[in-house]
Amino acid sequence: MPNSIPASPELRVRSLVLGPNGEQLGQQDKVHLYQSEKKVATPGERFDVFQTAFGRIGILVCYDCMFPEAARTLALKGADLIFVPSRVGLAALDPWMLYSKTRAMENRIPIIAPNVFRPPQYVGGTLIVDLIRYGVGNVVLPKIVASAGSGEKTVVADVDVERAREMRRERFLDRRPAAYFGH
């Protein structure tokens, strides 16, 4: 293939974790490369959790959020928040929001999902998803507590990490991993 560029071990799709003074605390490489990324980049090999002043955070880089196991892995590793930095175009914005809310609900974990703003294709849509208890009983719903909508905006919201941690502990006590893999 004369027009094909081989994947480079040096080229990664990566999100950095920066401390309050700009120091690099870590990095998360994108594990699930999307379409043409597969031709030029090397995928990450694992999902890490990083200790920060705000708690333990995990990162799903864009397309990584489409895989339920990725978010579950971070939750099981003790993440308190999951960041999902993305470059999602207008056509995929609604599914991306649904995936973000679903991963929050499945794992009882707040999601902070910044998205690129570069019109006309990338219209923003950054959102923060927290969890609420709804009605009588133990119904938990994901709730978008802040959203940039279309445009370039700063989005800020409080999320209740302690409440989410308790919800996650309750839910995960009911898991039966031995049944999932036939052991």
> What ranges do the domains of the chain cover?
14-175
Section 37-61 average pLDDT: 95
pLDDT at residue 100 above 50? yes
Identify the residue whose tokens are 């991963």.
103
Contact 82, 54 (CB under 8 A): no
Distant-in-sequence contacts of 149-155, Cβ < 8 A, 24+ apart: 149/124, 149/125, 150/123, 150/124, 150/125, 151/117, 151/123, 151/124, 152/117, 152/124, 153/124, 153/126, 155/114, 155/126, 155/127, 155/128
Confidence at residue 2, expressed as pLDDT on a 0 to 100 scale: 46
Confidence at residue 9, expressed as pLDDT on a 0 to 100 scale: 65
Which CATH architecture fits 14-175? 4-Layer Sandwich (3.60)
Section 73-98 average pLDDT: 96
List alpha helices for 108-140, DSSP H: none
Q: Who wins on pLDDT, 6 or 143?
A: 143
Torsion of CA 58, 71, 62, 98, to 10 degrees: -130
Please report which helix (H) or strand (E) contains residue 137, including its range. none
Contact 17, 28 (CB under 8 A): yes
The type of residue at 172 is F
Indicate the pTM of the whole model.
Answer: 0.90
Distance CA 155, CA 112 (A): 10
Confidence at residue 6, expressed as pLDDT on a 0 to 100 scale: 59
pLDDT at residue 7 above 70? no
pLDDT digits (tens, 9 = 90+) for 110-154: 999 999 999 899 999 999 999 998 877 778 999 999 999 888 889
Confidence at residue 1, expressed as pLDDT on a 0 to 100 scale: 41
pLDDT at residue 4 above 70? no
Hey, what are 182's tokens?
């036939």
Round the average pLDDT of the chain to a whole number and report it.
Answer: 92
pLDDT at residue 162 above 50? yes
